[in-house]
């Protein structure tokens, strides 16, 4: 279960596992022109976004496979996150993951 996020303008691409463990990171020349602080912030922001997407996918799968599990239990198990990121992740989650 993975989540992906990228910043094409600065050529940064991130892929993480559910939970946020880094699976792949791609950088090109424009990324380094952000400077040390800008680059670190950009990568961490993309990791947050990718993690929210991966967690959202896992949340849908768990809801589908574990009968009776609700939002409260899923939040307690760590499949939540910042509300704005979750909302953004939901809008980019393919319909195939939206099985309740």
Paired tokens of 92: 């980019």
Q: Could you tell me the two tokens for 67?
A: 């009968």
* Alpha-carbon torsion (78, 17, 87, 11), positive or negative: positive
The residue within the footprint of another protein, chosen from 76, 82, 87, 98 (CB under 8 A), is 76
Is residue 70 near another protein by the rule CB under 8 A? no
Among 8, 9, 84, 96, binds another protein (CB under 8 A): 96
CA atoms within 13 Å, Cβ hemisphere of 17: 4
Interface contacts to another protein, rule CB under 8 A: 1-2, 11, 15-29, 31-32, 35-36, 39-40, 43-44, 47, 51, 57-58, 61, 73, 76-79, 94, 96-97
């Amino acid at each position: 279960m993975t989540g992906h996020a990228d910043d094409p303008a600065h050529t940064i691409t991130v892929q993480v596992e559910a939970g946020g463990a880094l699976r792949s990171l791609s950088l090109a020349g424009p990324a380094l022109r952000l400077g040390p602080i800008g680059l670190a912030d950009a990568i961490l922001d993309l990791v947050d976004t990718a993690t929210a997407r991966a967690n959202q996918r896992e949340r849908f799968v768990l809801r589908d496979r574990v009968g009776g599990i609700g939002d409260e239990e899923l939040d307690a198990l760590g499949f939540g996150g910042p509300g704005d990121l979750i909302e953004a992740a939901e809008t980019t989650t393919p319909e195939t993951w939206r099985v309740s």
